[in-house]
Structure 1
Amino acid sequence: MITTRDIAERLGISVSTVGRALSDDPRISEETKFRVRQAASEMGYVGNRAARMMRGASSNVVALVIPDIRNSFYSTIAHELSTNMEAEGFQLMLSETDDDRMVELRHLRELSANRVAGVIIVPTARPHAESVKLLKAVPHLQLLRRHPSLGSQWFGVDDHEALRRATAHLVSLGHTRVAYLGGPEELPTGAERLRGFRSALSEGGLPDDAGRTELGPPSSVDHGRQAVRRLLKGPDAPTALVLGSIQLTLGVLEELSAQRVKVPGELSVVGFGDEPGFSWWGPGLTTIGLPIQEMATGCALWLMRRLKTKPVNDGPYTSVSPGSLVLRGSTAPPDGRTVSRSV
């Protein structure tokens, strides 16, 4: 393994000068820094970051803590964040919690022990008290979900308005039996999306019982399948369905295809997220588009500024991006028929 001593011997300078040049010490001339870096590159030198961290140096690693990498929203966010941070000399590390607060805590312990430079987190519904303490010691921000115990730096989507618009679209078409399938109310995103759904029904003059709800794990494709089976049973089955997560949307679309439900003839559907396949599923899925690139770029820029300027105290910062309603062929006025399945 090539060491700083090897570089020093090649250039005829001291080991300490090599170390200072590699760490961009202002006491070393630009010419010497250039010679040292060029020699290090030619010789295949790899710096010992662990040793530097033991001496108090900071890491260049930023952690992204998310519930489920299978969700394309999070994988796309990870890609965009990685691209932005690579340009600034930082590396993105991924941690997956499966929405388990104890798994979240274990990851945060390891990240803290490895002195990560910062953390971007989609928190669980009830973060552990130790998780809160660990995050207070490192620059961090919350993404999509916001928990009050984790500070006031948050980048999210206007979930209430996104679901309100999607549901209002169905009500405007004449649907009076509309169902919502989304995440639990204990998640801030779940609560806001459900509130948006109910607001649209109320604004449309529909009674409370006009909207049925099926709430459950937002990252479960299987929950989407099972929930839509329940919703389609009986004579009061909904004529329209609005969805509150990408994974649930995937499960619902699979089940509707398996049961050969005619969309939008028997059931109008508004999905969540805009996967590449959604544009050609059936008649094309009307769905809620998410501002993924805008959010990822905003997160990266805010955190990079925070890491470079090192302010003594972070003031509150909130960035709320609007969703969009992408109109395709999966929604239409009800024709009086209902779909009832004995699954």
Structure 2
Amino acid sequence: MITTKDIAERLGISVSTVGRALSDDARISEETKFRVRQAASEMGYVGNRAARMMRGASSNVVALVIPDIRNSFYSTIAHELSKNMEAEGFQLMLSETDDDRMVELRHLRELSANRVAGVIIVPTARPHGDSIKLLRGLPHLQLLRRHPSLGSQWFGVDDHESLREATAHLVAQGHTRIAYLGGPTELPTGAERLRGFHSALSEAGLPDDAGRTELGPPSSVEYGREAVRRLLEGPDAPTALVLGSIQLTLGVLEELSEQGVQVPGELSVVGFGDEPGFSWWGPGLTTIGLPIQEMATGCALWLMRRLKTKPENDGPYTSVSPGSLVLRGSTAPPDGKAPSSSA
């Protein structure tokens, strides 16, 4: 590895002069700075950022802490954030927790020890107390999920309204037996999505037993398959299904295809997220589109402003982006009946 000593020996100057030239010290002439930088480039010198940070320089690394990179929502967010960060001279580092709060804590300890510039986090349901303390010492914001102990800077989706609208669409089609498959209510996103589902049923005047629910790990494709198998058993199986996560949607679509369930003839389906393949799955999947680019841009702009202005205290900031119901061919009136005129 090329060091400042190697550059100094090549140019016949002191190591301290090389260091000052590379840090743009005003005491070093422009001519010497040019010679040092040219030699450093030719020799393949890479600066030691950790050492510069010990001398007071700031990091240019921002960490994105997410549950599962296999979820296309998170991978797309990471891609969009990376582009936005790069444009501002920052680098994005990815950290995956698998929704395990102890893994989350270990990652946050490492990130704090390496003095990252900031953190964008999709928190676990119950962050460890030490995770909360570590984040208090770092510029950070919450993405998608919001935990009250982690501060009041949050970028999210209007989960309640998104699921209310999706369920209301099925009600308007004439469905009275509708099931919801989503994440657990200990996650704020899961609680809000379930609340939106029930809100639509209540607004339509449907009885409590009109809606069945299956709640489980939102990142598990296999759970989606198992849950839809249970829902379709028996004479009172739902005629419509609304989903509350991308991975669960993938599992449900795999299972329905394998069983040969006719969509929307036997079952109407509203998915969650809008994967590239959803538009050509079966009759085309009606689904809840997510404002990924809008959220990523908003997160990046807010954090970049925070890192550049370095305010003493961050005031509360909340950005709630609406989802959108993307209508395709996977929903229709039950048994081919036309929806009522009141719908």
CA-CA distance at 1:20 after TM superposition: 3.0
Cα distance change, pair 276–102 in 1 and its aligned pair in 2 (3 A): same
8 Å Cα contact 1:122-1:143 kept in structure 2: yes
User: Which residues in structure 2 correspond to 1:39-118 (within 5 Å)?
Assistant: 39-118=39-118
Aligned mates of 2:319, 2:156 — CA distance in 1: 6
Relative distance call for 1:6 and 1:231 in structure 2 (3 A) is same
Stretch deviating more after TM superposition (37-46 or 250-259)? 37-46
Unaligned runs of 5+ in 2: none
Query: Shift of residue 11 of structure 1?
Result: 4.8
Distance change (3 Å), C-alpha of 1:339 and 1:319: closer
TM-score using structure 1 length: 0.94
2:114, 2:248 → 1: CA distance? 35
Whole-angstrom CA distance in 2 between matches of 1:125 and 1:136:
18
Relative to structure 1, the CA distance from residue 226 to residue 30 in structure 2 (aligned partners, 3 Å threshold; closer, same or farther) is: farther
The question of whether the paired residues in 1 share the 8 Å contact of 2:265 and 2:336 is answered with no
Q: 1:159: how far off?
A: 0.6
Structure 2 distance, partners of 1:340, 1:96, is 47
User: 1:183-218 CA deviation, whole Å, 9 max, x = no partner?
Assistant: 000000001101111111111121121111000100
Please say which of residues 35-44 and 319-328 is displaced more in the overlay.
35-44
Residues 34 and 165 from structure 1, CA distance in 2 versus in 1: closer, same or farther, beyond 3 angstroms? farther
Offset of residue 49 of structure 1: 1.6
Rounded to whole Å, the distance in 2 between the matches of 1:29 and 1:322 is 55
Deviations along 1:144-166, whole A, 9 cap, x unmatched? 00000000111111111111111
- Secondary structure of 1:242's match? strand
CA contact (8 A) 1:232 1:339 kept: no
Distance change (3 Å), C-alpha of 1:42 and 1:183: same
CA shift for structure 1 position 129: 0.4
Q: Is there any run of 5+ residues in structure 1 with no aligned partner, and where?
A: none
Q: Distance in 1 between matches of 2:337 and 2:236?
A: 11
1:1-343 to 2 correspondence within 5 Å?
1-11=1-11, 14-25=14-25, 33-335=33-335
Contact 1:232 1:340 in 2 (8 A): no
* Structure 2 CA distance for partners of 1:329 and 1:11, relative to 1, 3 Å: same
Please say if residues 237 and 338 of structure 1, whose CA atoms lie closer than 8 Å, have aligned partners that are also in contact: no
Q: Which moved more, 1:329-338 or 1:212-221?
A: 329-338
Q: CA shift at 1:275, angstroms?
A: 0.5
Change (3 A) 1:198 1:137: same
State the Cα deviation string for residues 229-272 of structure 1 (Å, max 9, x = none): 11001111110000000000000000100110000000000000
Change (3 A) 1:26 1:302: farther
1:32 deviates by 5.1
Please report how far the alpha carbon of residue 340 of structure 1 lies from its aligned counterpart in structure 2 after TM superposition. Answer: 25
Cα offset for 1:90?
1.6
Q: Deviations over 1:109-137 (max 9, x none)?
A: 11111111111100000000000000001
Separation of aligned partners in 1, 2:21 and 2:301:
28
Distance change (3 Å), C-alpha of 1:311 and 1:36: farther
**Cα 1:340–1:216 shift into 2, 3 Å:** farther
Give the SS at the match of 1:335: helix
TM-score by length of 2: 0.94
- Over 3 Å counting, the alpha-carbon distance change for 1:180 and 1:295 in structure 2 is same
Judged with a 3 Å threshold, the aligned counterparts in structure 2 of structure 1 residues 323 and 34 are, in CA distance, closer, same or farther, namely farther
Q: After TM superposition, give the deviation of residue 305 of structure 1 in Å.
A: 1.4
Structure 1 residues 318-327 or 244-253, which shifts more? 318-327
Distance 1:295 1:21, change over 3 A: farther
**CA shift for structure 1 position 53:** 2.8
Change over 3 Å in CA distance of 1:300–1:25 after alignment to 2: farther
CA contact (8 A) 1:233 1:340 kept: no
CA distance in 1, matches of 2:207, 2:22: 69
Q: How far did 1:324 drift? A: 0.7
Identity across aligned pairs (percent)?
Answer: 91
Task: Answer yes or no: is the 8 Å Cα contact 1:225–1:254 preserved in 2.
Answer: yes
C-alpha contact (below 8 Å) 1:64/1:95 kept by paired residues: yes
Deviation at 1:26, TM superposition (A): 5.2
